[in-house]
Amino acid sequence: MAAATPSPTPPNSLKRIVAASLIGTTIEWYDFFLYGSAAALVFNKLFFPESDPLVGTLLSFLTYAVGFAARPLGALVFGHYGDRLGRKKLLVLSLLLMGGATFAIGLLPTHATIGSAAPVLLTVLRLVQGFALGGEWGGAVLLVSEHGDSKRRGFWASWPQTGAPAGQLLATGVLSALTALLSDAAFASWGWRIPFLLSGVLVIVGLWIRLSVDESPVFKAALAAAEERKATAGQVEKMPLVAVLRHHWRDVLIAMGARMAENISYYVITAFILVYATTQVGLSKQTALNAVLIGSAVHFAVIPLWGALSDRLGRRPVYLIGAVGVGAWMFPFFTLIDRGTFGSLLLAVTVGLVLHGAMYAPQAAFFSEMFATRMRYSGASIGAQFSSVAAGAPAPLIATALLADHGTSTPISLYVIAAALLTVVAIVCARETRDSDLGDVAERAPEDSRVRADA
C-alpha cells in the first residue's frame, strides 16, 4: 500500500528547518574552506618548509585535495545510514566529526616541532574533514527539500547552499582580520591557529540548533511504507547504494557532470586566486582576501535569488545560465586580475561568483528531485561527492601546476571552459524536475524509473 504524501511543513517550522540547515552547513564549510585558505597562505611554510615556495604550495594544495578524496567515502557511509536511519542523526554526526578535526588542526605541531610527522597528521585530519563533508551536504539539502513543497522548493533548498559562501565569508573574514592585525611573523607563529580553534565554539552552537529540528516528514512516510511492505508482503529493501545504481544510474552520471563546472570554477575563483593574485600579479595577501571576502558576500545574497528563479523558469535553464556564463567569463576574469588593482580583482571575483551561484542555487532542489526518498541521500551524495574528486579536489592543484609550467593564465581558462562544456552536456541530457512531488517520487521511482527493475 502506498503511503499518503505528507503535507508541506508550515512556513514557521520550515524557516526553523532552513535556519538549522544553514547554520550547520555554514560551520561545516567554514571548517573546510579555512583549510583551503590556510593552505594557500601559510601551510606551505609551516608544514613543507624544505620546498621552494611554489612546490611548497603544490604540496600544501595536495593535502587540501586529500580532503576531497575522502568525500566519496563519506557520501557512501552517510548516504547509506541516512537513507536507513534518517537525515537528522547523520547531520549531527557530520558536524561533530568536522568540528573536532578542525579544532585538532589548530592544536597541531608544525614541521619545526615534530618534523615529517606534522604533514602526516595534517593529512589525517584533512581526511576526517573530507569524510564528514561528504555526508553533510546531502543530508542538509534533503532535510529542507523534503520539508517544503514543489512550488518554492528551489528557493528554500537554496538556503543551505548559502552555507558555502557564508562559510567562505566567515573563514576569509577571520583570516583577513588576523592578517591585518598581526605581523607576518606573528600570524605564521600562532595567529593562524585562532580560526581553527574557534571551530569548537561554532560546533557547540550548531549542535544545539540541529538537535532541535524534526526529521523529514517525507522520509518518515517512506520508512513507514517500507516497513508496511515488509510486514504484509515480506518485501525487503535493497541497500540504498544498490538501488541507486540500479534505478538511478543515469541521474547519478548527470549529477556528476553538472558538478564539474560548478566545482572547478568555485575553487579556481576562491582558492587558487589567492595564489595567482599574490605570486603572479604581486598583490598583497590582504588585498586578495578582501576581494574574496566581498565577492562571497555578494555570492551569499544572489544564491536565494537564483533559487527562486529556478522555481519560475526551471532548474535546467538557470543551471545552463551559470555553466555558460562561467565558461565565457574565464578569459575576462584573468585579464581583469592582471591589471593589478583591487577594483579589477574584486570585479573579476564577484562576477565569477554570481555566475557560479546560478549553478549552485538550483543544485540542491535539482539533485533532490532526481531520486526516490529511500535512496535520495545516497543518490544525491554520490552524484555530488564522487564528482568532487575529479573536479574541486585537483582544481587548485591543476591550476597551480599549469601556472608553474606555462607562466600564463591561458591554460587555466581553457581548463575551466572544458569543465563548463561537460556541464552543459550533462544539463542538456537531464530531465526538468521543477514540479516533482518528492512524496510521489518515493512511491513511483522503484517501479517507474529510467531503468526498470525487470529490464
Query: For the chain, how many helices (H) and strands (E)?
Result: 22, 0
pLDDT for 343:
96
pLDDT for 346:
96
101 contact partners, CB below 8 Å, separation of at least 6: 31, 125, 126, 128, 129, 132
Distance CA 267, CA 265 (A): 6
Tell me how crowded residue 393 is: count the other CB atoms within 10 A of its CB.
25
pLDDT for 409:
93
Question: What 3 state SS string does 314-365 have?
Answer: CHHHHHHHHHHHHHHHHHHHHHHHHCCCHHHHHHHHHHHHHHHHHHHHHHHH
pLDDT for 104:
92
Nearest CA to 173 out of 150, 198, 148, 153 is that of 198
pLDDT for 110:
86
Q: What is the pLDDT along the chain (455 residues), one digit of tens a residue?
A: 444 455 555 555 778 888 888 887 888 788 777 877 777 677 777 887 766 566 666 666 677 677 778 888 888 898 888 888 878 888 888 888 988 888 998 999 988 888 878 888 888 888 898 898 888 888 888 888 887 677 889 999 999 999 888 988 888 788 878 888 888 888 888 888 998 898 888 888 888 877 877 777 777 777 777 677 666 766 556 677 787 878 788 899 999 999 999 999 998 998 888 889 988 999 988 898 889 889 989 999 999 999 999 999 999 999 999 999 999 999 999 999 999 999 999 999 999 999 999 999 999 999 989 888 778 888 888 888 888 888 877 888 899 899 989 989 999 999 999 999 999 999 999 999 988 877 655 444 444 433 333 33
Q: Is 435 exposed, middle or buried (0-12, 13-18, 19+ CB in 10 A)?
A: exposed
CB-based contact 364:138 (threshold 8 Å): no
Place of cell 564539474: 260
pLDDT for 270:
87
pLDDT for 235:
58
What separation in angstroms does the CA of 413 have from each of 65, 270, 323, 326? Answer: 20, 15, 14, 10
Distance CA 143, CA 380 (A): 12
